[in-house]
Structure 1
Amino acid sequence: MKLHLYPTRVIPFGLSALSLVVGSVLFPAIGYAETKQDNVDQTEINKAKSTDAEMLERIEVTATRRTTTVQETPLAISALSGNMLKRNGITSVEEFTKMVPGMNIQDSGPGSKRISLRGVTAPGEGTVGVYYDEIPISGTVGVSSDAGGRTPTAALFDVNRVEVVRGPQGTLYGASSMGGAIRTIFNKPVDGYEGAFETSYGDIAHGGVQKSVDGMVNVPLVEGLLAARLVGFRKTSDGYIDNVFLGIKNVNSSTKEGGRAMVRFTPTEDITFDGMYLLDKTEAGSNTWNPAIGEYQTVSQINQPFEDTTKLYSGTLNWDLDFAKLTAAVGNFKRSTEYNMDDSYYIDTYLNEDKCQSRWNDGIACSSDELSAYYDYVNSLTPAVLQHKGYMTNKTYEMRLTSNGEAVFDWTVGAFYQQRDDYVQSQDGAADEATGRLIEPIELFYRRYILDNLEQKALFGETTYHATDKLDVTVGLRWYDYQKTVTGETTNAWELINAFEKPKTSVDFSESGNLFKGNVSYSMTDDMMFYGSAAQGFRPGGANNVIGLAEMLTGYESDSLWNYEVGMKSSWLDRDLQFNAATYLIDWSNMQVRGRTTDGAFSFLSNAGSAQMIGLEMESGWRITDDLFVSGNVNFINAELTEDQVSDVVLAAGKKGDRIPYIPKVTAMLSLSYSLPQILSGFDSSIRADVNYVGSSYTELRPDDTYYLKMDAYTLANLRFNLDSATTGWGFSFYINNLFDKNAIVYDAGSYDYPHEDATSAMPRTIGVTVRKDFF
């Protein structure tokens, strides 16, 4: 089957509920920002400040593909410098989430993280573009065509900055950036000797300890021409979840290790080439537990290890051509994963007379002897392991020209190409009853293979017209074309669960279209800017590869959205106070959703209905005194369906007014940093406290869905004390994360088989120390 779609997209009219004027004049509530400081004077630079107060200083970003500051950029963007990440103990994107209004991560276990911005979350391809420098990174599709649910995240050591752009970035960043984009910018090799070292030790409540070691060394290989930078890291955790079925403590122990090797070649002052090899390896146990059993307890009958190895080979050329800057980036991202899941309780659901009749006795009621024999067979299958192995290669190529200098028009034009190949092997086998480990050689129940190939190409451009020294108008356009081929084969049948042998079959999907962006900004003063924008985003469609699924349910189409936004950026009180705000309305059409067949047997992707998000986000930072700094952010959002998701084949798809799952109406963060009097000679000391609030949400669309669960609101508090010496490079930190040891459930899912609910939580209270040393 081959489906060709050539959609015509028009701009809908009406910007109801966009009331920035009201939101923007609210008191400077929680949020943070960087400032426009082209002409900042030396007295401002020399002000004593806490670590967090660096947010008020100039941090350059390149989200628009040209260098600006956050306050100069007419987009909703947050950024944290590498120094701020280090001093605040942020080592992962998960820890960074609280710093960004409207950012959410659904963490359903090792390797299973779904990132969303502004409530744009759904199964399928990712809704947030994830970049390492110039290279887009994709999750693996798995058996459920859900690349967005398996997004890899980088270790944040020796990072220059992290940028988060909220709202669709379709024209410059393409597919799967319909909610926004996250860019991790690594420090590059420099022409000099540098080094850094950091180690940390923490005690986890209800569990063991966590330890980490990070290091960096920078060496000039050929003075003025070639330099290298090596980064290495290792982080271990003993875990805190106990398997009461197998009698094993701390089953969610983990080890994450890897590094980066980078070179910078500068043959002339106009040409720079950066090459990088990145390696990230994770070995972990499942961090899901069963609330019906007890806090941080699981009754899984099997050992559930997870292994993930990611590698990235990349090269980026920057060439200043006087009239424009040429950027050419090539990346080859490889990922291999292997993980085990417990299939035992699912198999136990077949222990009933109806299944004996339908799956064992050709539709005839089973006699007592037949029923006994059937039960003996089903019981012989447990404990059982559902094992998934996946291999992905994602090659990307991008070339663009960005105009230089000051002119009436600024412009960027470019081309993009992607070839992603996914291979998935899924199989069921027997496990050892005593240890829960997969028996090898495997006692195979069934096996199937999936090949998922995605090819994308695009041409894009943006131009900004500087109508006056205060008024800018930007227009962007992207043409895209993609083809997706999904191939499946079941080589070993398991008729008990209707997994019949299936020959290799393929389904092709292709689509082309255009994405539009329009933006107008007006700078009333050097410290006050207003902007408005309308932008599109989309995700590719594809095909399900689900055992026993009817052919009519195999394919699903792309979904798309329009984001309408009005925002302001401002600085006050001689730039000691900054306040940014944006209000937005998102219309999401032809949503991709996870549905179930009417008999409840199969889960698959489909298109059903539309949704709307109306939100207000604010972020602010205030240097109250030279020693005291307060910052924070808040996001209010109403994310719900705008029409019934009517379908004859999807169970409990959703109705108008249903809230989008896993999206709280309110999230907020408030932090306070205070520079203390000198405690130790030669060291600056400071203390930081932050409080993070996440409102309640639900796990499914329909309140009458069997698996509809409420996730309660929670508040987490952290405390950190820092000692830092600028002259010696030494630094020390004492921290308490999750100060009050809250069991905050960050992901929950219902199931019809025992124990009916699987949850993951934020890390329990962790008390630790960090020692670091910078060498220059």
Structure 2
Amino acid sequence: MGKSILAFASIAAIGTALTAASAQAQAASGEAPSGDDIIVTANRQGSQSIQRAALAISAISPTALADKGQGGLADIANVAPSINVQQTQPGVNRVDMRGITTGTISVTNVQDRPLVAIYLDDVPLALQSGNPELKVFDLERIEVIRGPQGTLYGAGSMAGTIRYITAKPDTNGFSGSAEGILSTTKRGNLNYGLRGIVNAPISDTLAVRIGGYQGRNAGFIDNTGLGKKNANSDESTQARVAARWTPSPAFTLDASFTFAKLDVNGTNAGYAGRSRYSYITAVPEVFDDNLKIYNVTGAYDFGFATLSASTSYVDRKTHNTSDYGDTAALFGIPSFVSLGIVDNRVKDFSEEVRLVSAKSDRFNWTVGAYYQKTKRHYYQDTPTTDFDSTFGAIIGDPTFNSQTDYQAFQPNDVFSGLQNINEHQFALFGEATLTLGKFDLTGGLRYFDFKQDFDLFYSGVAGSLAPGQPLTQAGTEKANGFNPRAVIAYRPQENLMLYAEAARGFRYGGVNQPVPASFCGAALAAAGLTSAPLTFGPDNLWSYTVGEKGQFFDRRVTFNVAAFYVDWKKVQTNRNLDCGYYFTQNAGKVRSMGLELESRFKLSDALTIGVNASYTDAQANGAIPNAGAVDGDRVPYFPKYTVAANAAYVVPLEDGSLTFSGDFQMRGNSYTEFNETDPLRRKIPAYQTVNASVTYDKGPWEFSLFGTNLNNSRMISLVTRSRPTAIADRYYYGRPRTFGARAKVRF
């Protein structure tokens, strides 16, 4: 692999690119601007230039995404290297980094923990198969940190972290903006988005900031089973209210409330071998998300250090409805109209306290404590038309009445279930950097203590042990330990840094859902078991990164490259049974290695170009029986390469400026299973897209024309294999060619 990486780096270096120049060019190319530098806060030791942060991190401009009518998780993945998003519809998604993945979206697995953490400021939000779609409406930047961040960000950041950094209220003056976007999608109708932001000083020490978004994306998928065109439209309403109080130069208090509501009317699915953008279901497949985020953060500067405390509460409710028409196949009888209903309620309280040293040329440090309490109530139901009458005839029992005999929630429910999870975690962490001449030595450690209590109720014929005997189970999983990180950085000159990092990432274990022996006895016996294991433990990895960050030719050229090697052990993998149930085990190893490139080049005062790219070689490290993998099999669902090239040309005008920008994005193929001989393995094709915009900026006014997916590429993020009653495999598509206009006024 060494030769291929060197060749890749050499080719990329020759033509690469990006800017360290004007804010217009930086924003148009996707880079988050801050004057002539990019400022990040990822290391939690205060603000610093991204070029001096000894870790693999990208900073993405919200303006660059909004200019092209973009802003979702999938759009971020197309800009930053080594990141991939699987998505069936907005809000139902999975984020992976650096090839650290073995599976796909699973909305019914409450124990499927995220490998990539997602934060809104200091508030953790990630769910493995349901990360929220926070529209870009009032952000300073988006930080994408690649590699484990377990020391500072905890268990959910085993593969990396995404941080949405919001704009804060400002007492210096009244300001705001209003923005409207209108576009049309091929095969669909009109899309629109409205954004408004107001910053208002109340006094010399108090300011508030209010932002809102309302938008609708037209559908582009036809559901021929329901006779509905453009069935997968979605609507989003979001609002944020923030206040900042600074009664003295030493003390700052921030309080905020964020609300996000998403209503999705169908999936982005189409059938393989048929019309690209159509599929058939007997019922609408919808997803609704209602998210509320409360946060209060205070900071006091003692001179030698700043003490901050962040208190957060997240209340999130999601509702998912799917077509479970293949339920009949489990009983060998004709098709039913069957509905899969999943309601998920998460209440999460978290508290983090940090003490950060004052900036020093010699020694900087951070210490802190973290506490999180999460309650999750998970409801499942499968109402199936006329199932009871058919089932009674099958079992030959004329006295059979209803699935309520199996304590289902209502008649004709093949399956009903409730799961409750209570989790507590506590952590102490610290990180320090010692500067010795041209060397920075960083060491960090996190102690964690975790406990999960779990109880479950399954009923209906597919969940009960027998009539009148629902399946119940309770269990507890605990874990504690230490998580280290070490970094050495060397600066031979002012604008050049070399660094090496070793970091451990981890993910908590959990309690397995039970497998009813009455329904799955034969499947368990085939696996050599009489029952499923009650719990599964944490998995962990060690990640090793070497990198270079440099700016050359009077900072007109920026070239950053990182090479990584990841050793993932005790991987949490699902054992799928023929009866439709599964359980999780710690079984197998994965190793991933690759190269990441980010570069920018200011060719002239007007022209900036750039290339971000990654190459990832992730494989099974030995056999993984649960996944059907043998040594050397490529991990599923992750492309080997990604490339994102961009260009921005700024033309100064007497009364403003005109910016032409464009980008080309390319992703390699991937597969749905490890083993290439697996008959269930499906290919997720490679694709390329082209986006462009032209923006006229005149004082407070800004006007843009944009086009996304101009080549109308068939962007497929996920393939699911055919179910017993389905026509063919399902492809899940990105949005086709879209043209639009945008107008914004600042005041």
TM-score (norm 1): 0.86
Which of 136, 153, 159 aligns to 1:179? It is 159
1:552-571 alignment runs, 5 A limit: 552-571=532-551
Distance 1:664 1:279 in 2: 34
The CA deviation at 1:502 is 2.5
The CA deviation at 1:26 is 6.3
User: Does the alignment pair 1:28 with 2:13?
Assistant: yes
Which of 411, 414, 422 aligns to 1:453? It is 422
Distance 2:719 2:26 in 1: 41
Relative to 1, partners in 2 of residues 1:503 and 1:383: Cα closer, same or farther, differing over 3 Å?
A: closer
The Cα RMSD (Å) is: 2.6
Partner of 1:661: 636
Distance 2:2 2:374 in 1: 40
3-state SS in 1 of match to 2:284: coil
1:228-307 alignment runs, 5 A limit: 228-284=208-264, 285-307=266-288
List per-residue Cα deviations over 1:116-167 (Å, max 9, x = no partner): 111112452111111100111132xxxxxxxx12222321112111111111
Which of 386, 389, 397 aligns to 2:351? It is 397
CA contact (8 A) 2:32 2:141 kept: no
List per-residue Cα deviations over 1:468-501 (Å, max 9, x = no partner): 1x11100111111101122110244447999984
User: Does the alignment pair 1:411 with 2:392?
Assistant: no
Relative to 1, partners in 2 of residues 1:293 and 1:49: Cα closer, same or farther, differing over 3 Å?
A: closer
Which residue identity lines up with residue 399 of structure 1 in the other structure? Answer: V
CA contact (8 A) 1:639 1:660 kept: yes
User: Does the alignment pair 1:743 with 2:714?
Assistant: yes
CA contact (8 A) 1:29 1:620 kept: no
User: Does the alignment pair 1:732 with 2:703?
Assistant: yes
Distance 2:655 2:621 in 1: 60
Relative to 1, partners in 2 of residues 1:500 and 1:256: Cα closer, same or farther, differing over 3 Å?
A: farther
Which of 726, 730, 736 aligns to 1:758? It is 730
Percent of aligned pairs with the same amino acid: 29
Which range is displaced more, 577-586 or 240-249? Answer: 240-249
Distance 2:565 2:707 in 1: 38
User: Does the alignment pair 1:682 with 2:655?
Assistant: yes
List per-residue Cα deviations over 1:146-205 (Å, max 9, x = no partner): xx1222232111211111111111111110101111110111111121111111111110
Distance 2:586 2:681 in 1: 20
Distance 1:299 1:503 in 2: 34
3-state SS in 1 of match to 2:129: helix
Partner of 2:669: 696
Relative to 1, partners in 2 of residues 1:298 and 1:474: Cα closer, same or farther, differing over 3 Å?
A: same
The CA deviation at 1:452 is 1.8
1:554-593 alignment runs, 5 A limit: 554-593=534-573
CA contact (8 A) 2:319 2:341 kept: yes
Relative to 1, partners in 2 of residues 1:299 and 1:89: Cα closer, same or farther, differing over 3 Å?
A: closer
Partner of 1:466: 435
The CA deviation at 1:556 is 1.6
CA contact (8 A) 2:508 2:539 kept: yes
List per-residue Cα deviations over 1:714-739 (Å, max 9, x = no partner): 101111111111x2x11111111110
User: Does the alignment pair 1:111 with 2:91?
Assistant: yes
Distance 1:696 1:24 in 2: 20
The CA deviation at 1:258 is 1.5
Partner of 1:672: 647
Partner of 2:448: 480
Structure 2 residue runs without a partner (length 5+)? 104-111, 388-408, 521-529
Distance 2:574 2:553 in 1: 50
1:528-567 alignment runs, 5 A limit: 528-548=496-516, 551-567=531-547
Partner of 1:384: 338
Distance 1:48 1:99 in 2: 16
1:437-452 alignment runs, 5 A limit: 444-452=413-421
Which residue identity lines up with residue 255 of structure 1 in the other structure? Answer: E
List per-residue Cα deviations over 1:519-554 (Å, max 9, x = no partner): 000001111110001000000011222552764334
Which range is displaced more, 488-497 or 288-297? Answer: 488-497
CA contact (8 A) 1:281 1:307 kept: yes
Distance 2:723 2:25 in 1: 58
TM-score (norm 2): 0.89
CA contact (8 A) 1:445 1:492 kept: yes
Which residue identity lines up with residue 410 of structure 1 in the other structure? Answer: N
Distance 1:339 1:50 in 2: 36
Partner of 1:429: 383
Which residue identity lines up with residue 723 of structure 1 in the other structure? Answer: Y
Relative to 1, partners in 2 of residues 1:662 and 1:49: Cα closer, same or farther, differing over 3 Å?
A: closer
Relative to 1, partners in 2 of residues 1:541 and 1:227: Cα closer, same or farther, differing over 3 Å?
A: same
Distance 1:47 1:695 in 2: 31
Which residue identity lines up with residue 291 of structure 1 in the other structure? Answer: A
CA contact (8 A) 1:313 1:333 kept: yes
3-state SS in 1 of match to 2:676: coil
CA contact (8 A) 2:155 2:508 kept: yes
3-state SS in 2 of match to 1:289: strand
List per-residue Cα deviations over 1:660-688 (Å, max 9, x = no partner): 1111111101111112464xx62311111
Relative to 1, partners in 2 of residues 1:603 and 1:47: Cα closer, same or farther, differing over 3 Å?
A: closer
The CA deviation at 1:235 is 1.1
Relative to 1, partners in 2 of residues 1:48 and 1:692: Cα closer, same or farther, differing over 3 Å?
A: closer
The CA deviation at 1:71 is 0.3
Distance 2:573 2:288 in 1: 28
The CA deviation at 1:444 is 3.4
Which residue identity lines up with residue 630 of structure 2 in the other structure? Answer: K
CA contact (8 A) 2:272 2:728 kept: no
Relative to 1, partners in 2 of residues 1:418 and 1:545: Cα closer, same or farther, differing over 3 Å?
A: same
Relative to 1, partners in 2 of residues 1:122 and 1:674: Cα closer, same or farther, differing over 3 Å?
A: same
Which residue identity lines up with residue 492 of structure 2 in the other structure? Answer: M
Partner of 1:62: 41
CA contact (8 A) 2:305 2:357 kept: yes
How many residue pairs get matched? 700
CA contact (8 A) 1:49 1:627 kept: no
Distance 1:214 1:414 in 2: 37
Distance 2:440 2:4 in 1: 21
